[in-house]
Structure 1
Amino acid sequence: MLFDDLYIRAVRLKPHTDGDLGYTAAIPAIRCLKRLELKSPVTFFVGENGSGKSTLLEAIAVAFGFNPEGGTQNFHFSTSETHSPLYRFLTLEKGIHRPKDGFFLRAESFYNVASEVDRLEEVDMGLLRSYGGKSLHSQSHGESFLSLSLNRFGGNGLYLLDEPEAALSPQNQLALLSRIHQLVGLKSQFIIATHSPILMACPNAEIYSISDDGIVPTEYEQTEHYQLTKAFLENPQRMLRYLLDETD
C-alpha cells in the first residue's frame, strides 16, 4: 500500500481543555500529541504499561466508528462504559479509499466480543462461518484469537489490535505475523499496540515508542522490548543473577 492508499494517514488532536480529555489529560504522550502521521500499512504503538498506547489506539478505533469494546463497525453492544472521551477530540485524516472490512480487537474485552458473536449467530444463522465455523468460546483463548485473524480478517480492511499477543504462544505470534504480512498484500492497514518483539519485527513496519517523552518513531533494534529480550536470551544466567541480587 502507498501512503495515499492508507485508510488512516494521520491522527490530530483538536483544540481542547484538560477537562475535555478526562483522565487522559494526565498522560504525557496524549498531552504532547499534535499530529501523528502514519506512513506504513503496519504501525506499532509500543511502550510501558500506562504509557497511553492502548488509550490512543482505543480512541482511534472509536473515532473511526468501531465499538469501544471491540468487534466490527456493526457491533453496538456495551457491557461497561469505560472508554475515555479522547476520541471526541481526535481528527482522523483518511485516505482516498474506504476499507471494505475492519475489526477492533481488544484482548481485555474479547470474551464480550465472543459472546456477542454467539448472540448474533442466533439472529443471523451462518455468521459463525466467517469466524471459522464454531463458537469462539469453544476454543482456547489463543485459538480464538488466531481463528479470528485467519477467518474473519478478509483483506481490504482496517484492523486495530490491542495487545493481540496476550493469548498467543510464540509460535502463534509468528503465525499472526505471517497473516498480517499476507493481509497487507491484500490492501489492509494495521495499527497495533503491543509488547511483542516478535510482532514488531514485521517488515517495513513503523514503530512509535510512547512514553513520558511523547510519541517518537523508533527503529526496531532500538526498542526496549528488543534490547531486553536480546540481552536476556544471550545470557539468561547473567540477567537472572542481576535481577535476583537486586531483589534480595
Structure 2
Amino acid sequence: MNRKPYLIEVQVAREKIDDFNEYPFDIPAIKNLSSIRFHEDVTFFVGENGAGKSTLIEAIALSLGFGPEGGTRNVQFSTHNNTSKLVDYLRLIRGYKSPDDYYFLSTESFYNVATYMEQINYIKGYGGSPHTKSHGESILAVLTKKLQGNGLYIFDEPEAALSPARQLTALAAINQLVQKNSQVIIATHSPILLAYPNAVIYQLDENGITEISYQDTPQYQITKGFLNDYKRMINILLEG
C-alpha cells in the first residue's frame, strides 16, 4: 500500500514575521514565500548560489526534528550556531502515515556527522567508518547502504562530492528509494539528478519560488549549451 506523501506542504506563518528586511527574510525567494507543496516521490530546489536553497531545505529539516548538521533525527549536535530563524515560522502539513526512516544529508557538514558517529561507535549501516572512504564514497554509502526505504529523506547538494559517473549512481539510488515507498526532497545544482522523471522542480530566484520544467532549468540549458558548442563558449569566456 502506498503511504506517501509523508510531507504534503510547508507553509510560512508570514503574519508572525516582524521584519522582511532581516535575514533570512530579505532573500527574495524567502521574502515572497507563502507555501510549497511537495511531490510524493521527488521534489527539487534549484537556484544560484545565495538564492536560499540551503536556507530553505535546512529549515524544513529542522522542522522535521533533524539536527542542524544532518544525519538521523537522533543526531543532535551543532558545531556552528549559524542556522536561520526561518524554522520558527514554518508549519508542516503531513500525510496520514508517518515514515519508518528519516535522514537529512547535508554534504557540507557530513564530515562532522561522520566524526560524531565514529566517536559514539555507531557506524552501523554506513558500511564501516565514513572516514575510511573518500567523501564521495561515503555519500554514496549513505544513499545505498544506510537508507532503508519507507523514508522521508532531505538532501542538500548531494552531488557536491560526486563525479558525473557517481551522480548517475546516485540517481539510480534515489530511484531505488522511491521504489521502496520513500519521499525525497533535494536541493541541487546537478543537471543529472534533476533529470529524475516526473519530479517537481522549484526554482528560487529574485522573483520568488516558481515551478519549472527540467529543460527550462538553467542547469540543463547552460550545460547543454556548453557541451553542444564548447569551443565557441571557451573562446567567449576566455577572450571576453
Provide TM-score, normalisation by structure 2: 0.96
The secondary structure found in structure 2 opposite 1:131 is coil
Amino acid at match of 1:66: F
1:156 to 150, 157, 181: 150
Task: Tell me the distance in 2 between the aligned counterparts of 1:111 and 1:61.
Answer: 18
1:178 to 155, 172, 193: 172
Q: CA deviation at 1:59?
A: 0.2
Could you tell me which runs of 5 or more consecutive residues in structure 1 were left unpaired when the two chains were aligned: 122-126
Amino acid at match of 2:124: R
Contact 2:143 2:173 (8 Å CA) reproduced: yes
Other-structure match for 1:124: none
The secondary structure found in structure 2 opposite 1:208 is strand
The secondary structure found in structure 2 opposite 1:23 is coil
* Residues 1:131 and 2:126 are matched in the alignment: yes
Other-structure match for 1:222: 216
The secondary structure found in structure 1 opposite 2:124 is helix
The secondary structure found in structure 1 opposite 2:25 is helix
Other-structure match for 2:119: 119
Identical-pair percentage: 49
* Residues 1:13 and 2:12 are matched in the alignment: yes
Task: Tell me the distance in 2 between the aligned counterparts of 1:160 and 1:16.
Answer: 26
The secondary structure found in structure 2 opposite 1:24 is coil
Task: Tell me the distance in 2 between the aligned counterparts of 1:21 and 1:187.
Answer: 40
Task: Tell me the distance in 1 between the aligned counterparts of 2:53 and 2:178.
Answer: 22
Task: Tell me the distance in 2 between the aligned counterparts of 1:221 and 1:144.
Answer: 30
Q: CA deviation at 1:119?
A: 1.5
Task: Give deviations 1:11-68, integer Å, cap 9, x for gaps.
Answer: 1001222448951011011111111111341000000000001100000000010011
Contact 1:141 1:167 (8 Å CA) reproduced: yes
1:16-27 equivalences under 5 Å are 16-19=16-19, 22-27=22-27
Task: Give deviations 1:54-106, integer Å, cap 9, x for gaps.
Answer: 10000000001001111111111221111111001000110011111111111
Task: Tell me the distance in 2 between the aligned counterparts of 1:36 and 1:185.
Answer: 24
Other-structure match for 1:37: 37
Query: Cα 1:21–1:113, aligned 2, differ >3 Å: closer, same or farther?
Result: farther
Task: Give deviations 1:146-204, integer Å, cap 9, x for gaps.
Answer: 01111111001111000000000111100010010011011101110000000010111
Task: Tell me the distance in 1 between the aligned counterparts of 2:56 and 2:203.
Answer: 12
Contact 1:18 1:25 (8 Å CA) reproduced: no
Contact 1:22 1:85 (8 Å CA) reproduced: no
Could you tell me which runs of 5 or more consecutive residues in structure 2 were left unpaired when the two chains were aligned: none
Contact 1:21 1:84 (8 Å CA) reproduced: no
* Residues 1:205 and 2:204 are matched in the alignment: no
Task: Tell me the distance in 1 between the aligned counterparts of 2:22 and 2:190.
Answer: 29
Amino acid at match of 1:128: I
